[in-house]
Structure 1
Amino acid sequence: MPSPMIRTRVANACDACKQRKVKCDGNLPCSYCKSRRGNLICHFSPVTRRRAKRPHLPSPESSTAHSSIPSSTRADASPGISAAPIPTAVPPRISDDFTRRSDVSAEEEADVPREARLLCDAQGKLIFVGDCAPLSLFQTVRQIVTSRIDPNAFTPQTGRVSMLENASSHPLIPVNNREPPVNIANSERIVSVFISTCGLVDLFDNAHLTDNISTWIAEQTTSKDAASSINYLILAIGSQSIDEESSTAYFQYAKTLALSLLGGDLGIETVQAFALITLYMLRACQINGAFLFFGIAARAAYSIGLHRTEVNSRFGPKVHAHRDNLWKSLRVLDLFLSISMGRPPSMSDVDCTVPCRTLDSDGQEQFDLLNSTVQILSITEEIVLQVYSRRKISLQLTEGISRQLRDWSNKWLPRLKVVVAEPSRENGANITGACQAMSSYYYAVMLVTRPFLMYELCKRLPESTATINTPSSSSDNSGRARLANACIDAASLMAESVLDLINQQLLDRRMPLIVSWLFASSLVLGVGLLGGFGRILEKYAEMSISALEYFAENDAHAMQYSLIAKSLLSSALKYLERRDINERLRITESSSQLFGLMPKERPPREDRIPTETTQPGAPVADSGMPQNLSSHELLSSPFHDIDPALLSLGCSFDSTPGAPFPGREQQDQTDQVFGALNLFPLLDGNGHIDLAHYL
C-alpha cells in the first residue's frame, strides 16, 4: 500500500511560480519550470522580511499596553514591575511633539523630554550630562523660565561659575618623596569625623579604626604600601572640614602612592584606596575626577571577585561579611555617580550574587542602612532605564514603579525616621546614612514624576513673557496633576527633613549626595510655585535654599545651587505678583459697575490732574497697563482715576458669555508648545551648542 503523500512547506518559491500563483516545490529548477522547459527562467529572488506596520495614532489600549522599553532592559527588569506584554516588533519611535488626541489615553501619558546636553567644566572643556541629572533639569527649567516668564530670570553669576568641576582652594602641593607629618593628638578627632561623615558606605571595621590609625602613626616608618595610602586618605577625608591645607597634602601623597602601587598585586586595599579617592574628590566638588578614579576601584573589585558571595565566603564569616559590604558600598558610589551625572554605571548586577538583604532566624529582613541605600538606588537605576531611556511614560508604568517605592517605604522609612528622630553625637554615622537613604528615596519619587510636573508647568505658564495666564483648577484631579503634586510633595519632605538635621547641627558641611538631590528639590519647589501649585511652596523653597547655604560654606557646588534657587524663587514671586494684579483687575472690571465705583466715561484729558509720574503734555496710553505703574501704586490709587480701558482683558481671554476657560483649543496649543520646546540642543544644529550662558 503506498504511503500517503506528505505535503512539504517551501520557504521560498521561484519568480515564475509567484507570478503565475502556482505551487512551487523549491527545487532548482522547479518541476513547474522544468515541465515547460524553462530551466533558464527558474530564478529564486531573496526573501524580503516584512516590516511591522507603524500606526499613525495609537489606540487607547495600545498606547498604554505597548511599552517601548529597550530590549537590553527587559531581561533585567524586576518582577515587581507590572509591565504590559511586549510586542515582537520594534515599537515605532514616538514624535517629540505632543499629538492632538481627544481619547482617554492622552490623560495617562506624558512625554519624557530628552534633556541631555554638554556643559562646560572649570577649564572650559565640554562634559556630557545625561537626561536624569539635576543639572539637566536646571537647564530645562532655565529655558522655560527665560522664554515664558522673564528673559533676565537668572543672573550671569548663576552661569559663569562651573557646576561640574571646581579646583581646590589650595594649589596642588608638589609631590615629593617626603611623607606629610601627622599629629597624633588630632588623629582621634579626625578619624571620628571620618566615621560620622561616611555613613553612605561601609569600607572598614569602624570599631577598631581609631586604634589602628593610632598604632600606625606611632609605628610610622618610611614604608610605602597600600595600608599607608589608605590611612592617609582617611586622614585627608576627616580633615576636609577642619584643615583643608593638611587635607590636600595628605590626599596628594596618598593618591600618588596608590597609583604607584597599582601595577602590583591587586587586593582589598586597592579597592579601598580608590574608593576613598572617589569619596574625597566628591566632597571636594571634583565629580569628573571621582567618576574616573572610581572606574579603577570597580575594575579592581571585579578582578578579586568581590561581586560573588560564594567567593567571599571562602575567607571565613568575618571577612565574608566585610567583602560583601565593600561590594555594596561600591554599588552605592557607582549608582550615585551614574544617576547624578546621567551616565552609564561602571558596575552591574548581571553576574552579581552578593545579596542586598539580611534575614534573621524568623525569616524577617534585618535593619541595615547599607542594604536600604543599595535597594533604593537600585530602584532609582530601574527608573532611569525604564523611564528616561524612553520617550513616553504612562500611568501603568508609573504604577509598577510606585509599587516598588511603596514596598521600600513601608519596610525602611519608619525605621529610618526613628534613627533620625533620636539623634546623638555617638550615632553620627547612622544619622548621616539614614538622611542620605531618605533623600535618595525622595529623589526617586521626584525622578519618576518629573515628566508629569514639566507637562503641567508648560500647560499652566503663558506661551511668552508678554502674557499672563490665570490659574485654572479644571485638571487638578487628572492623573498627570496628581503625579505632579507627588513630585512637589517629595521635594517638600526632603527640604524639611534635611533642614531639621542641619538646625540640630548633625550634618557635616560636605555631603555631595544630599547637595545634589537637594538642588533638584529646590528646582521642583521653584517651578511648583511658578506653576500655581500653592503659595505654601514658598516656605519650602526657602527651606531648601537655607539648607544649600549651610552646605555652601564648604561646598562650591552648593553655593552655585543656592544662587540658582534664589533666582528661581525671585522670578516665581514676581510672576505671581503680576498674575495676582492681573486677576484683581479682571475682577474689578466686572464688579465696579454695581455701585458706580468706576464711571463709564472718563473725564476729558485736559481736566485731569497731572501726577508726579505724568507730566503735562506727556502722552497717556489709551489702552493697556502702563509699564511704569508698580503694584503698590495700582492698588492704592482711587477707583475714579482708573481708566476702564486699562482693565481690558485683551485677547488672552474669551469674552463670550459662558465660554469655558481654558478651551480645548488652548489645551491643544499647550501640548504643541511643550512638545516643540527645544529640550535637547545637542542633537539640533548638528551638534553645535550655544555657550553664551556658560561663558
Structure 2
Amino acid sequence: MATPLSGSNEALVINRLRTGHVDRAEAFYLTAKEMNDPMAGLEDQDFWSIQALLLMSFHMLAKSKRNTAFTLLGMAARSALALGLHREEAMVIFSIEEQNERKDVWRSIFVMDRLLSCSLGRPTAISEDDCSGDTLRPPDRDNEQAWTYSTKTVYDYNETGPPAMEAAVRSCRQIGIILKEVYQKRKISTRLAQEISDVCQTWPRALTPILQWRQAPNASPSQGVAILHINLFYCHSVILLTRPFLVYILNKETQVHGGQFGTRPPRPLDRIEKFGETCVIASIHTTLLVQNAFEAGHLSRRNPVVIYFLFAATLVILASDFAGLYKIEMTNKCVVNAISIMNYCAECDQQAVRLVYILSSFRDVVVQERLRQRQSLANGLALPSIALQLYGVQMTQQQQQHASLKPGGLPQAIDPLDAAPRLHQVPIHIYPGMQTAPLDESTIGYQVPEHLQHQEMQYHMDLGCMSPLSDQEFMHLNQELPLDMSPFMSP
C-alpha cells in the first residue's frame, strides 16, 4: 500500500521488498495470524494483540476479503472492550504516553468499524453509549472561528496525526448516527436530515487549517494522505445523509416519467431537491479530492477506503446524469477520471477490477441514453425534461430561439440537457464555513471551466438555510437496501 516518492530512500526500500520472491505483506500477516490464532483461545489477549488484529483486518480488506476483515475487526473490538480501552476510568493506571496510544488504537478500531458498517451494510461493533470520557469525544474546538487559508507544508506526522484522527472520529460519529437513524430504521424526513446536517456543519469549522482540502497541492505525502482521508470521510457522511432524497427523486421520476411525453407542472419538492443537489455536489467533490491526490502522487494502488468512497460517489454522479436531473459541467471529466483512477488501482486490487467493470458499464448506458434522447429530438419528438418538471426552469432567450417554429409549423424540440439546472464544482456548498471565501484556482489541482469563473452561483446548498417539513412529511425507503452490489443504495 505504500506509495513513496519516486527516487527517495523509502522508494528504494519498498521496491526492493516488492521485487523479492516473498510477499512480505502476506508473510507478516501469517506471522500475526499464528500469534493470534482464535482456535488457541483469546484469554491471553494483550494490547499488542489488539493492534495486530486491527492491522490484520485492514490487510484482509485491502485484499478484498471483506468477510475475514469484518470478523477480525470484531475480534479486535471485543478484545479492546475486554481490556477497557473504551472507558476513561480504566486509563488512569497508565502513563500519559500509554493513555494516548490506547486511545489512538480504540479510535482507529472505531473508524474501521464505521467504515465496514457503511460499506458492507452490516451492524456496528461499537456502541458510543458504552464509551466514557473523551475516548471518542475529542475536545471541542471553537466552531465560530474565522476561516483562514495559507499554504503550509507539514512534514512532521506528530503535527498532522492527532488532528487528523480527531477529524476522522468526528465524521465517523456522524456516520454512525446516520446509519442508526436513517438506514437502520429505513425511513427519513427532512426534519431529521436538517437536525443531523446542523451537527455536520460543525466539522469543517473545527478542522485545523493544515488539513483543509486546499492544502492538498502543496502538502507533504503524510499530510496529503491525511487531507484525502478525512475529507473523504466527511464528504461521504454528507452523501449518506442526502442520498435517500436523491434516490427518492429518481424513483418518483421513474414512476411518473415512463411512457409519457410533454411538459408537466413542477412538483413541490423544494426541500427534498436541495438535499438531492447536495448529494451530487458532495459526490463531485469526492472525485476531485481523489484526483488531486492522484496527480500529487499520494494515492496508493491498493487503498480500500479511497476505492469505496470513489465508487459510491461516481455512482451518484452517473445516476444523476442518467436521469438528467442536473446539468453538471464536469460530469464527463469526473467520470473519466474516476474510471482512470480505478484502472490505476486495478493493477494491484482485484476489487477495483470489478468496480471498473461496473462503472464502465454504467457509463456506457448513460451514453446510450443520451444518444437515444438526441435521436428522438432529431426526429421532432420532444422528450420531457426531468429537471424541467422538477424545477420549472424558465427557458433562456437562446432556448426560446431554438424553440421557434419550424418552416413546417411544428415547434422545434429543446434538448432536455439545456434546461437542466447547472451545478458548480465549488465545494463551499459542502463546507459552509467557507461561503465567503473565494476559490483561488491557482492552488487547486483541477481547472474550472473559463465560462464558470465569472458566473454567479445559481444554487446555494447551505443545509442550514433549509426549513424542515412537518413531522408527518416522511419518506419511506420501500426498497430493500443491498449490502454489497450497489453502494448507491446501501448505506
User: In the alignment, what sits opposite 1:573?
Assistant: 367
User: In the alignment, what sits opposite 2:152?
Assistant: none
SS in 1 for 2:333: helix
Does residue 400 (structure 1) correspond to residue 195 (structure 2)? The answer is yes
Residues 241 and 510, structure 1, Cα contact 8 Å, conserved in 2? no
How far has the Cα of 1:456 moved from its partner?
1.6
User: In the alignment, what sits opposite 1:267?
Assistant: 46
User: In the alignment, what sits opposite 2:216?
Assistant: 420
Residues 456 and 531, structure 1, Cα contact 8 Å, conserved in 2? no
Q: Which amino acid aligns with 2:319?
A: V
User: In the alignment, what sits opposite 2:90?
Assistant: 311
User: In the alignment, what sits opposite 1:455?
Assistant: 248
Query: In the aligned structure 2, how far is the partner of 1:495 from the partner of 1:473?
Result: 34
How far has the Cα of 1:406 moved from its partner?
0.8
User: In the alignment, what sits opposite 2:339?
Assistant: 545
Higher helix share: 2
Q: Which amino acid aligns with 2:480?
A: F
How far has the Cα of 1:572 moved from its partner?
1.1
Percent identity between matched residues is: 25
Query: In the aligned structure 2, how far is the partner of 1:459 from the partner of 1:369?
Result: 40
Does residue 255 (structure 1) correspond to residue 49 (structure 2)? The answer is no
User: In the alignment, what sits opposite 1:521?
Assistant: 313
Does the C-alpha gap of structure 1 residues 418 and 540 become closer, same or farther in structure 2, counting only changes over 3 Å? closer
User: In the alignment, what sits opposite 2:452?
Assistant: none
Query: In the aligned structure 1, how far is the partner of 2:19 from the partner of 2:116?
Result: 22
Residues 239 and 247, structure 1, Cα contact 8 Å, conserved in 2? no
Does residue 341 (structure 1) correspond to residue 124 (structure 2)? The answer is no
Query: In the aligned structure 1, how far is the partner of 2:271 from the partner of 2:315?
Result: 22
SS in 2 for 1:550: helix
Which of 676, 680, 683 is matched with 2:480 structurally? 680
How far has the Cα of 1:382 moved from its partner?
0.3
How far has the Cα of 1:321 moved from its partner?
1.0
User: In the alignment, what sits opposite 2:226?
Assistant: 433
Query: In the aligned structure 2, how far is the partner of 1:257 from the partner of 1:569?
Result: 46
How far has the Cα of 1:548 moved from its partner?
1.7
Query: In the aligned structure 2, how far is the partner of 1:317 from the partner of 1:483?
Result: 44
User: In the alignment, what sits opposite 1:531?
Assistant: 323
Does residue 409 (structure 1) correspond to residue 209 (structure 2)? The answer is no
How far has the Cα of 1:293 moved from its partner?
1.1
Cα deviation code 1:373-430 (max 9, x no counterpart): 0110110110111111234311111110111111112222853325524222xxx333
User: In the alignment, what sits opposite 1:368?
Assistant: 163
Which of 379, 384, 397 is matched with 1:585 structurally? 379
Residues 345 and 352, structure 2, Cα contact 8 Å, conserved in 1? yes
How far has the Cα of 1:258 moved from its partner?
2.3
User: In the alignment, what sits opposite 2:351?
Assistant: 557
Query: In the aligned structure 1, how far is the partner of 2:285 from the partner of 2:37?
Result: 42
RMSD: 3.7
Residues 470 and 583, structure 1, Cα contact 8 Å, conserved in 2? no
How far has the Cα of 1:544 moved from its partner?
1.9
User: In the alignment, what sits opposite 1:381?
Assistant: 176
Q: What TM-score do the two structures reach when normalised by structure 2? A: 0.67
Does the C-alpha gap of structure 1 residues 192 and 324 become closer, same or farther in structure 2, counting only changes over 3 Å? farther
Residues 216 and 292, structure 2, Cα contact 8 Å, conserved in 1? no
Residues 462 and 468, structure 1, Cα contact 8 Å, conserved in 2? no
Which of 63, 66, 73 is matched with 1:294 structurally? 73
Q: Which amino acid aligns with 1:586?
A: G
Query: In the aligned structure 1, how far is the partner of 2:256 from the partner of 2:19?
Result: 46
How far has the Cα of 1:307 moved from its partner?
1.1
Query: In the aligned structure 1, how far is the partner of 2:93 from the partner of 2:43?
Result: 23
How far has the Cα of 1:463 moved from its partner?
6.7
Does the C-alpha gap of structure 1 residues 593 and 254 become closer, same or farther in structure 2, counting only changes over 3 Å? closer
How far has the Cα of 1:364 moved from its partner?
11
Does the C-alpha gap of structure 1 residues 470 and 311 become closer, same or farther in structure 2, counting only changes over 3 Å? farther
How far has the Cα of 1:354 moved from its partner?
4.7
SS in 2 for 1:474: coil
Query: In the aligned structure 1, how far is the partner of 2:94 from the partner of 2:232?
Result: 35
Residues 519 and 561, structure 1, Cα contact 8 Å, conserved in 2? yes
Query: In the aligned structure 2, how far is the partner of 1:242 from the partner of 1:504?
Result: 27
Query: In the aligned structure 2, how far is the partner of 1:531 from the partner of 1:389?
Result: 27
Query: In the aligned structure 2, how far is the partner of 1:243 from the partner of 1:435?
Result: 33
Gap regions ≥5 residues in structure 2: 1-8, 146-158, 384-401, 411-474, 483-491
Residues 57 and 69, structure 2, Cα contact 8 Å, conserved in 1? yes
Does the C-alpha gap of structure 1 residues 408 and 239 become closer, same or farther in structure 2, counting only changes over 3 Å? farther
Does residue 390 (structure 1) correspond to residue 202 (structure 2)? The answer is no
Residues 143 and 202, structure 2, Cα contact 8 Å, conserved in 1? no
Query: In the aligned structure 1, how far is the partner of 2:365 from the partner of 2:255?
Result: 14
Aligned length: 372
Gap regions ≥5 residues in structure 1: 1-187, 194-234, 599-673, 683-695
Using the TM superposition, name which of 536-545 and 379-388 deviates more: 536-545
Cα deviation code 1:14-55 (max 9, x no counterpart): xxxxxxxxxxxxxxxxxxxxxxxxxxxxxxxxxxxxxxxxxx
Q: Which amino acid aligns with 1:257?
A: M
User: In the alignment, what sits opposite 2:462?
Assistant: none
Q: Which amino acid aligns with 1:405?
A: C
SS in 2 for 1:265: coil
Query: In the aligned structure 1, how far is the partner of 2:245 from the partner of 2:332?
Result: 21
User: In the alignment, what sits opposite 2:278?
Assistant: 486
Query: In the aligned structure 1, how far is the partner of 2:357 from the partner of 2:219?
Result: 30
Query: In the aligned structure 2, how far is the partner of 1:477 from the partner of 1:360?
Result: 36
User: In the alignment, what sits opposite 1:320?
Assistant: 99
Does the C-alpha gap of structure 1 residues 272 and 375 become closer, same or farther in structure 2, counting only changes over 3 Å? same
Query: In the aligned structure 1, how far is the partner of 2:34 from the partner of 2:275?
Result: 49
Query: In the aligned structure 2, how far is the partner of 1:241 from the partner of 1:438?
Result: 34
Residues 332 and 373, structure 1, Cα contact 8 Å, conserved in 2? yes
Does the C-alpha gap of structure 1 residues 562 and 361 become closer, same or farther in structure 2, counting only changes over 3 Å? closer
Query: In the aligned structure 2, how far is the partner of 1:244 from the partner of 1:491?
Result: 39
Q: What TM-score do the two structures reach when normalised by structure 1? A: 0.48
Cα deviation code 1:580-637 (max 9, x no counterpart): 3323433799989753599xxxxxxxxxxxxxxxxxxxxxxxxxxxxxxxxxxxxxxx
Residues 143 and 206, structure 2, Cα contact 8 Å, conserved in 1? no
User: In the alignment, what sits opposite 2:489?
Assistant: none
Q: Which amino acid aligns with 1:346?
A: A
